[in-house]
């Protein structure tokens, strides 16, 4: 029974009907000939009428050549097509996606400035400090898609020849909370991660306290700056000596340490490097090599 049904369906799909009358065949043949002649005559008429005008409108669309990419690298090389602008002559320049995963007061602002000093690198800051963007995994994915499609407009957005695009993302900005889906996103879209942490967590804590004190006190001529831009400014802010609650000290340092370990565990299957602020400010070689060799783009130091 099942065989019958199968062969019936096969016959219906594949075999021409047997014994179709000769007359019917002739009619179909004649009809198709008439149609063909008619279509040809219309085409000829139109092309003779328009050919002069059409030649003027012809644009040379030269498909650009995408570069050869090693098979192991293909996952990490992208050719985005932004909606807000045209990549023009750089449409076939490969773009790499990255994310800097960090904690507050760990040098990520400085590190990003370093990256952005390269003309073709665009690191777009803490785009997930905006509450609606991190409210659930759909808004997170939507924001990331927009960023990696080069459609986010920040002060660090670059041009059509951007070769690497990314953001900095603090662990407490939805990253730990939605780690499963974000990990899937990073691996699916070939995003390289730069973990940036601070070895000295006590100094980090003091920096947090001083920064939140200055939010009200505004020591720099009545303005608050999370990131200072001169040693003079740094000296003024460093005059503030916060009081630390000794009872809470060790538990809160442990808590940060644990969050960092957790994050490294969740995202260990990604392509990533782990950097420490103390190392990169001291060692030019670490600064240069780690980024160049592992992520495939070069930092031009100022
Ligand atoms: C930036 O990209 C453009 C276009 O691909 C390239 O010509 C230029 O050399 C790049 N600049 C640097 C500093 O790598
Ligand atoms: C996610 O958050 C956005 C903005 O807050 C909201 O409009 C949307 O309905 C939420 N989606 C889900 C699936 O919760
Ligand atoms: C990005 O924003 C700036 C300032 O708000 C604006 O001048 C610029 O035209 C915008 N660029 C794009 C591509 O939307
Ligand atoms: C504060 O203002 C004074 C006078 O305008 C200027 O000399 C000084 O450099 C400013 N200090 C900072 C930290 O911006
Ligand atoms: C330190 O923190 C503990 C726990 O939050 C609190 O009970 C205690 O009063 C604090 N001590 C001071 C001096 O603020
Ligand atoms: C800097 O880092 C490189 C690479 O890890 C290492 O070979 C070199 O000895 C370091 N230099 C200093 C001064 O620590």
Backbone region of residue 121 per phi and psi (left: phi > 0; alpha: psi in -120 to 50; beta: other values): beta
Mean pLDDT score of the chain, rounded to an integer?
Answer: 81
The ligand whose atoms approach the alpha carbon of 92 most closely is 1
Among 136, 140, 142, 174, which residue has the most ligand 2 atoms within 8 Å of its CB, making it the best to mutate?
A: 136
Report pLDDT digits (tens) over 104-133. Answer: 999 999 899 888 888 889 999 999 999 999
CA–CA distance, 99 with 66 (Å, rounded to integer):
24
Least confident of 24-33, 202-211, 291-300: 291-300
Residue closest via CA to ligand 1's atom 13 equals: 119
pLDDT at residue 148 tops 50: yes
Largest CA distance in the chain: 104
Query: What average pLDDT score do residues 225-242 get?
Result: 89
pLDDT the model gives residue 15: 37
Q: Is 112 in contact with 168 (CB distance < 8 Å)? A: yes
- What average pLDDT does range 258-266 have in this prediction? 97
The CA 105 to ligand 4 mean position distance, Å, reads 24
Q: Write out the E strands in 19-103.
A: 96-102
Count the neighbouring beta carbons within 10 Å of the beta carbon of residue 161: 14
**Which residues, 6+ apart, have CB-to-CB distance to 299 below 8 Å?**
114, 115, 117, 118, 121, 287, 288, 291, 292
Q: Pocket of ligand 4, candidates 217, 219, 221: which has the most ligand atoms within 8 Å of its Cβ, to mutate? A: 221
Question: Is the CB–ligand 4 distance for residue 237 below 6 Å?
Answer: no
Whether 13 has a pLDDT exceeding 60, the answer reads: no
Give the C-alpha separation, 246 to 262, whole Å.
25
Q: What is the mean pLDDT of residues 223-239?
A: 89
pLDDT over 90 (residue 60): no
pLDDT at 200 over 60: yes
Question: For residue 242, how far is its CA from the centre of ligand 6 (angstroms)?
Answer: 34
Pocket flag, ligand 2, residue 135 (CB < 6 Å): yes
């Amino acid at each position: 029974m099942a065989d019958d049904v199968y062969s019936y369906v096969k016959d219906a799909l594949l075999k021409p009907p047997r014994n179709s009358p000769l007359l019917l065949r002739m009619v179909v043949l004649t009809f198709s000939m008439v149609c063909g002649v008619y279509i040809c005559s219309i085409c000829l008429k139109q092309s003779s009428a328009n050919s002069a005008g059409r030649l003027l409108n012809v644009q040379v669309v030269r498909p650009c050549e995408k570069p050869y990419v090693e098979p192991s690298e293909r996952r990490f090389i992208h050719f985005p097509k932004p909606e807000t602008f045209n990549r023009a002559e750089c449409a076939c320049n490969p773009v790499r996606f990255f994310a800097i995963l960090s904690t507050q007061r760990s040098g990520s602002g400085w590190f990003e400035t370093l990256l952005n000093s390269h003309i073709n690198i665009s690191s777009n800051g803490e785009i997930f400090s905006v509450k609606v963007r991190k409210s659930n995994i759909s808004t997170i994915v939507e924001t990331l898609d927009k960023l990696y499609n080069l459609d986010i407009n920040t002060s660090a957005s670059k041009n059509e020849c951007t070769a690497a695009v990314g953001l900095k993302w603090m662990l407490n900005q939805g990253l730990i909370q939605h780690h499963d889906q974000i990990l899937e996103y990073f691996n699916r879209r070939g995003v390289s991660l730069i973990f940036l942490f601070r070895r000295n967590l006590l100094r980090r804590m003091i920096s947090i306290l001083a920064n939140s004190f200055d939010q009200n006190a505004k020591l720099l001529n009545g303005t608050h700056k999370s990131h200072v831009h001169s040693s003079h400014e740094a000296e003024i802010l460093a005059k503030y000596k916060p009081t630390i609650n000794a009872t809470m000290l060790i538990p809160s340092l442990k808590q940060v340490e644990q969050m960092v370990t957790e994050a490294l565990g969740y995202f260990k299957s990604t392509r990533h490097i782990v950097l420490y602020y103390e190392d990169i400010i001291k060692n030019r070689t670490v600064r240069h090599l780690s980024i160049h060799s592992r992520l495939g783009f070069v930092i031009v130091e100022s």
